[in-house]
Chain A
Amino acid sequence: MHTILQVQNLQTQFRTYDGLVYAVNGISYSLNEGETLGVVGESGCGKSVSVLSIMGLIPQPPGIIAGGQALYHGSDLLKKSQDELRHIRGKEIAMVFQDPMTSLNPVLTIGFQISESLQLHMAMNAEQAQQRAIELLEMVGIPQADRALHNYPHQFSGGMRQRAMIAMAISCMPQILIADEPTTALDVTIQAQITDLVKRLREEIGMAIIWITHDLGIIAGLAHRVIVMYAGFIVEHAGVDGVYDNPRHPYTVSLLGALPRVDMSREERLVSIPGMPPNLIGLPKGCPFAPRCTFVVEKCRQENPPLTPVEPNHEIACWVDVRTGGLR
């Protein structure tokens, strides 16, 4: 499998009135051609900030990319200028965000926005771009695409807008699609339509996807590999079956235990993780999850465990073996 994106030791911080916020603290992963990587975590874990950092979309100041590399086909995105990034963004690496209302320009028609991208990146003329835009809208399942071209974003429903965003994103046949919580604000039946669409498109286009969400249900159906983030660190990294059938990090275990299922009735109480999400100001000594962990031992409070393999194709950042409760 050919690696197209390699992130190494990415660190991002923010300067605020209350102090330095450590949003992303040395994460590393790679993305292979055609593969879908799920990035899971709750709010504040750094999942969005990490991809925005890679794409150069973090304003600096107050943000600071404090270290690391993001190698796209060998060259480091973090070292590129905004001009160079503009050529890559939209064309080779496309993004879809959670709220299409704020990512789409409300005073321009959908057709115009898609054509603009096509003319810019694919060097098409206006007529070719319009034709292609209609094709794209049809591809994403927007009915009466030739008329939809002339509509404004507010005339679409939430689901349709998200489809339009996807149409724009795939218009230049990107190698990587980064989707940051694209279905969180949508109803569940619309969400199913969109994930279905994305699955179809990734077959047709062969693009790799980074899908960011807090919803462990969606990831189970979409991703090939999963990374679980907490407080700016990766705590577990494995294939999708590995994470769900055999979670080895206490946070992942608790997170899965906190989820009810629609296909079976659970009589036991949901696992609730005691305490609250961590304060990101200042790096903790030791493991960031230690204050809330049921498997915590003294070593956890002293030293932050690195991400190490626990089984083939399965890494965790933990000193403890959750199956026994003792040290690994």
Chain B
Amino acid sequence: MATTSEALPGTVEDTLATREPLTPTQLTWRRFRRHKMAMFGLFLIVLLIVYAVGGSFVFSEEYANTTDRTLTGGLLHGPSLQHPFGTDPTGRDLLARTIYGGQISLLIGLAAVLVSLVVGVTIGALSGYYGGWVDSILMRFTEAMLNIPQLFLLIVAAKYLGDKVHNFEAFGREFSGSVIVIIVIIGFDSWMYLARIVRSQFLSLKEQEFVTAARCTGTSNLAIIAYHILPNSVAPVIVNATLGVANAILTEAYISFLGLGVRQPTATWGNMLENANRYLETAPWMWFFPGTLILITVLAINFVGDGLRDALDPRTMVE
């Protein structure tokens, strides 16, 4: 007869038997909720998504790209009742443009991070788990990529590849092919940081006893990487990826500002800033609204990233 440790009243075990199981994810969410700034950031992000997506039900894309013929006294107008964010030199409503531009900017932010995740996590995982010459080769490659100045790479790639991809359709909108190019470029320029983070996570996690236990059971290397180690390395990856979205949005903004980003007529917050370049003092509303939106987005993402970093802190993971 095996010795039992049945639930006895008043002991910790008693609560174990009656409480709802809390997954690690639920625990993390609880800790995240305690962060006021992070919750505020999350709220802002939700608002922004509602703005960018919901707004497209209010204004059509055509509206955003068409000159308003009813304008009198020139096409460039400041904020008014009819055009709350004003118009640009070609008479297009800026509010609508920020909505559609926002969709692209956010899309680019998310997609670029996705690309860098796929590349970075794969390289980092293989490097960290197998070590040896696999690690050496992959890391030297990573370091080589890191040594190429980011701006230089972006500019050159954008200049030469920007026009090469055709326009395409998705979600009921037509996109300039340059969107894909920008996503890929930004993605391929930021995977290195993720790779290093993932690699260092793998280096330490693969020595953990539960990994040894899995090897002792006979679990294959691939299964260990995918099911044992990866789920435990999400913490810094999530934080990095979240902040990476902000970074990607900013990067898109300044490539576009340099004129090398997403091509017209597709709007992004970045190329709206570029259009505003010549009108910095005369028509400040042209840069103010997209600029502020970028600012709010980046700040909100950073707050959320901070909150995630604390919520996922491994020291508090083991109760």
A positions within 8 Å CB-CB of B: 272, 274-279, 284, 290-292
Contacts and interface: CB of A to CB of B under 8 A. Distances in A.
B11 A279 contact: yes
B9 A291 contact: yes
Interface of B: 3-6, 8-13, 15
Contacts of A276: 5, 8, 11-13
Contacts, number: 33
B149 to A, nearest CB: 38
10 contacts: A274-B4, A274-B8, A275-B5, A275-B6, A275-B13, A276-B5, A276-B8, A278-B12, A279-B10, A290-B10
Contacts of B11: 275-279, 291-292
A32 B229 CA distance: 55
Given A272-B3, A274-B5, A275-B5, A284 B13 contact: no
Given A279-B12, A279-B15, A292-B11, 17 more contacts: A274-B5, A275-B6, A275-B11, A276-B8, A276-B11, A276-B12, A276-B13, A277-B11, A277-B12, A278-B10, A278-B11, A279-B10, A284-B10, A290-B10, A291-B9, A291-B11, A292-B8
B267 to A, nearest CB: 47
Contacts of A278: 10-12
A88 B9 CA distance: 44
Most buried by A among B5, B9, B11, B15: B11
B10 A291 contact: yes
A171 to B, nearest CB: 35
* Interface residues of B, dominant DSSP: loop
Contacts of A290: 10
B22 to A, nearest CB: 13
A291 B8 contact: yes
A23 to B, nearest CB: 15
Nearest to B4: A274
Contacts of A274: 3-6, 8
B259 to A, nearest CB: 53
Nearest to A292: B8
A275 B8 contact: yes
Contacts of B12: 276-279
Contacts of A292: 8, 11
Contacts of A272: 3
Contacts of B4: 274
Contacts of A291: 8-11
Contacts of B13: 275-276
Nearest to A290: B10
A276 B4 CA distance: 11
Most buried by A among B8, B10, B12: B10
B203 to A, nearest CB: 22
B302 to A, nearest CB: 26
A276 B7 CA distance: 9
A279 B11 CA distance: 6
Nearest to A280: B12
A276 B5 CA distance: 8
Nearest to B10: A291
Most buried by B among A277, A278, A284, A291: A291
Most buried by B among A275, A276, A284, A290: A275
A81 to B, nearest CB: 32
A291 B11 CA distance: 8
Contacts of A275: 5-6, 8, 11, 13
A278 B8 CA distance: 10
A274 B2 CA distance: 12
Nearest to B12: A279
A272 B15 CA distance: 22
A298 to B, nearest CB: 14
A278 B12 CA distance: 7
B191 to A, nearest CB: 37
A278 B10 CA distance: 7
Nearest to B319: A18
Contacts of B9: 291
A290 B11 CA distance: 11
Nearest to B3: A272
Nearest to A284: B10
Nearest to B16: A276
3 closest A-B pairs by CB: A275-B8, A291-B8, A279-B12
A272 B10 CA distance: 19
Nearest to A269: B3
A287 to B, nearest CB: 11
A253 B228 CA distance: 43
A267 to B, nearest CB: 18
A277 B12 CA distance: 8
B15 to A, nearest CB: 7
A95 to B, nearest CB: 26
Nearest to A17: B34
Contacts of B8: 274-276, 291-292
A298 B72 CA distance: 93
A290 B9 CA distance: 10
A272 B4 CA distance: 10
B144 to A, nearest CB: 36
B318 to A, nearest CB: 15
Nearest to B30: A17
A232 to B, nearest CB: 14
B50 to A, nearest CB: 33
B20 to A, nearest CB: 15
Contacts of B15: 279
A290 B5 CA distance: 15
Nearest to A278: B11
A114 B42 CA distance: 53
A291 B12 CA distance: 11
